[in-house]
Amino acid sequence: MFGNNRWRRHLSQVIKFKPGRVSVGLETHTLPPQAHILTAQSDRSSLPTMGALGDIVETSYATVLFVDLRGYCALSERLPADQMVPLLKDFFRILVHACDKHAGLIYHVAGDGLMAAFGIRTPSASGAPSALAAAREMLEHFTPIADRWNRTLSLQTGIGIGINAGEVAFLTLDGMPHLRATTLIGDTVNVAARLCDRARAGEILFSDSVALGLTADRPGSASAPPAWLRLANVYLHGRIAPLDVWCVSTLTRVKLPDNSREFVDVIN
Mode of pairing for the β-strands spanning 158-176 and 179-185? antiparallel
Range of the domain at 198: 5-253
Question: Could you tell me if residue 264 is inside a domain?
Answer: no
Please give the pLDDT value at position 13. 41
> Does 267 map to a domain?
no
**What pLDDT is attached to residue 232?**
74
226 burial level (CB within 10 Å; 0-12, 13-18, 19+): exposed
- In angstroms, rounded to a whole number, what is the distance separating the alpha carbons of residues 17 and 31? 11
The predicted pLDDT at position 71 comes to 86
CB atoms within 10 A of CB 200: 16
Residue 262 lies in a domain: no
pLDDT of residue 12: 38
| b/e map 2-18, b = 16+ CB within 10 Å | bbbebbeebeeebbbbe
In a domain, 156, yes or no: yes
261 assigned to some structural domain: no
The residues of the chain scoring below 50 in pLDDT are: 1-47, 50-51, 53-54, 256-268
Q: Pick from 132, 139, 172, 162: which is nearest to 66 by CA?
A: 162
- Beta-bridge partners for 256: none
28: domain CATH number?
Answer: 3.30.70.1230
Q: What is the pTM of this model?
A: 0.74
Domain-located, residue 44: yes
CA distances from 109 to 155, 166, 212, 229 (A): 23, 21, 28, 29
- Write the pLDDT tens digit of every residue in 71-94: 888 888 888 999 899 999 999 999
pLDDT for res 225: 59
> How many domains, in total, are found in the chain?
1
